[in-house]
Amino acid sequence: MSGFSDEAAWWQSAVIYEIALISFQDSNGDGKGDLTGLMSRIDYLKWLGVDAVWLTPIYKSPFRDLGYDISDYCSIDPTFGSLDEFDHVLKALHAADIRLILDLVPNHTANDHAWFIESSSSRNSAKADWYIWADPAENGGPPNNWRSRFGGTGWEWCEARRQYYYHSFLVEQPDLNWRNPQVRAAIADVMRFWLDRGVDGFRVDASAVLIKDQLLRDNPPNPQAKDKPPPQRQTPVFTDDRPETMDCIEFIREVIDSYPGRVLCGEVQGKIDRIGHFYGNDRPRLHLPLNFALLDSQWDALSLQATIDAYLNAIPEHAWPVWVVGGHDKQRIASKIGKAQMRVLAMLLMTLPGTPFFFMGDEIGRKRVPIPSDRVHDPFEKLVPGFGLCRDPERAPMRWDGSAGGGFTNGDPWLPLEPGGTPNVAEQQRSERSVLALFRALIMLRHEHACLSQGGYEPLRSHNDVLAYRRTKGGAQILVALNVATEPRKWHWLGRGRLLMSTHLDRRSETLPEASILLRGNEGVIIALEAR
């Protein structure tokens, strides 16, 4: 791995970029991104400055749910390419000093996976207990009231076994039985297959739901269910975030710890006050439980300071924070806060303590792409319509330029792109003050100043619409002040400083003679304090 440090905690100073490969770059005109397309964009990733990329699933799959329904964990889906092409991409990324994180989906497989085909064939098959099977209730119906996240019962009848199997997600995504040591061993073998090829870690999908209640107890009704989608009308105490789940995560961590310098990220659920459990204490769990608190926060200074404080207080003292502002399952934050505040968000993300994650397109301020009803792919929109759950607007192909195919494809893209051709990468690369230019400059600044990537954090009192805090390391001190209002705000601090960067990218390396600055509307600043 060219240029890589032997430091195991490389991920603490890394900036991580999520890519949905199907929407990143098409190389063969079929309208779907692929590994060859990714290879052609490594120069862009290097230019942007990211340290690692996380790929959504690229394994063999019928692709009913963005590839999270896996038919074979140890092969590449032909849509994306081959194992040889994967190896070439991994080698090229490493040569560019960029690490690669793969999605690990240990909770369920596709129903055409060889494991499930064998398990469903007979109660006496060698893999009979590899999935969650149960006899019918006394009335012949499902064993209990557990629901699928995609609507309806979570149980599906199998005539060959005369039993039901449980599926947390689509009916075609049967849940594996993590109480079975053989299942754990099989997933460990999957991990080793990819780790031996040189991947740098995994993001564990649905890590909070790996174990379900052994007694199959019914979930109680959700007292806050009014106006919620049907799948959310229960409180999933017997299906989600069970105590035994932590043992599963600890097992996965043991596997990855046998490969030095690898990282384990994870999709976790629940409120901020639960996220600390996913780090572990005596037995380590996830290095980076993904934290989406900024996406869920109200966008004002007081709410943001409370969100940040609550999260940092909820994680263990030894834990490394992580901040995620976009993803394949999350609505684009630019649609929530607007184009001007995307600059403020970028500065917030790159200056908070911890590891920043963002999703392809966030760096150009991309909003949700309108998807006509006849182009919808997302099963959420098909099975639970009318609640705004569709994720296709986030998953639309990357727009590299203003052409009809967006520089993404010469064919018909699998999902439509933005009408009008903007925002796009080429246009913003030509502008010295674009959102893309800001993301790149902030990543560079973060790499240049250990104070930002590794330093301590001290909150300052936020008021008058300005969110503020201090980063410290050794004798270095950096102040960050973010105006979340559209009008100017004056901000005061103690000491003398030098302005390192403004979100407007028109003020840099200015000496500030007084301990105050007039922040323009939607402006954030980074100030290096002079040593006393």
Query: Which of the residues are catalytic?
Result: 205, 267
Using DSSP bridges, classify how beta strands 497-502 and 524-529 pair: parallel, antiparallel or unpaired.
Answer: antiparallel
Question: Helices (H) and strands (E) in the chain — how many of each?
Answer: 16, 21
Nearest to 94 by CA among 34, 10, 190, 23: 10
Return the C-alpha torsion angle 225, 228, 234, 237, nearest 10: -100
CA distance 456 to 468: 14
Q: Can you list the alpha helix ranges (DSSP code H) found in 138-292? A: 181-197, 245-257, 272-275
CA dist list (Å): 31 to 26, 84, 365, 405, 443? 6, 22, 23, 9, 31
Phi, psi of 73 (to 5 degrees): -70, -20
Return the C-alpha torsion angle 198, 201, 205, 207, nearest 10: 130
DSSP category for residue 234: B
Using DSSP bridges, classify how beta strands 52-55 and 99-104 pair: parallel, antiparallel or unpaired.
Answer: parallel
CB atoms within 10 A of CB 316: 11
Nearest to 295 by CA among 354, 235, 385, 356: 356
